[in-house]
Amino acid sequence: MDPKREFLRHTLATIAYRGGKAVRGAPASFATFLPGPSSRTPVEILSHVGDLFDWGLSLVSGEERWQSSTPHEWDNEVSRFFDTLARLDAYLASDASVECSPEKVFQGPIADALTHVGQIAMLRRLAGAAMRGENYFRADIAVGRVGADQTVPRREFD
C-alpha cells in the first residue's frame, strides 16, 4: 500500500482511539454543555467532525462536497463519528484511486478533526467530567481499527 495512504489510515485509527476515549462514559448532560455564549456544545462539535469525515471521503473520491448537518442526540452522533470514520478508512484501504493529494486531506478534514477531538476532551474537564490523561505513545493503535471497540489504555496517568 502507498505509504501516504497508510499514514492517513494510521491517523484515522489514532482519531478513533482518542475520540473514543473523549466520548466514552460522558455523562448525559455533557452533550449540551456550553462553556460560553459563543461556544459550540460537544454534540455540535461531534456533528461537525462527522461532516469533516464525509467531506474527506468526498475529496478522496473526487466528488468534493460539503454539508453541515444538524446535530442529533449524543449517542447518534457518537455512532456517526465512528461510521463516517470507518467509511473514509475503508475507501483508503481499497484499491480505489485517491483523487486529491493525501497532504491536502490531512491538512484539511483530518487535522481539523484532531483539533475538535481535543476540544471535546478539554470540554470534558470544564464540564466536571474529566477523562484520565494517557501516554498516547504507548497506546495500542492499529491501522483499520476505527470503530468504537478500542483497546484499553496501556498507561494512564493517576
Query: What's residue 50's pLDDT?
Result: 98
- Exposure of 4 by Cβ count < 10 A (0-12 exposed, 13-18 middle, 19+ buried)? middle
Is the pLDDT score of 1 beyond 90?
no
Hey, how many other C-beta atoms are within 10 angstroms of the C-beta on 64?
12
More confident residue, 158 or 127: 127
User: What residues does 156 pair with on adjacent strands?
Assistant: 134
| Contact yes or no for 13/149 (Cβ under 8 A) | no
Query: What's residue 36's pLDDT?
Result: 95
Instruction: Return the domain boundaries, the chain.
Output: 3-24+38-138
Looking at residue 38, the DSSP 8-state letter turns out to be T
Residue 136: half-sphere exposure toward Cβ, Cα within 13 Å: 11
Residue with cell 478533526: 113
| Contact yes or no for 131/22 (Cβ under 8 A) | yes
Indicate the SS3 state at residue 28: helix
The three cell numbers locating residue 134? 494517557
Query: What's residue 158's pLDDT?
Result: 76
CATH class of 3-24+38-138: mainly alpha
| Contact yes or no for 91/57 (Cβ under 8 A) | yes
Is the pLDDT score of 117 beyond 80?
yes
Predicted TM-score of the model (pTM): 0.96
pLDDT tens for each residue of 3-46: 999 999 999 999 999 999 999 999 999 999 999 999 999 999 99
pLDDT tens for each residue of 48-75: 999 999 999 999 999 999 999 999 999 9
Residue 157: half-sphere exposure toward Cβ, Cα within 13 Å: 8
pLDDT tens for each residue of 68-105: 999 999 999 999 999 999 999 999 999 999 999 999 99
Residue 109's nearest CA partner among 94, 92, 95, 122 is 92
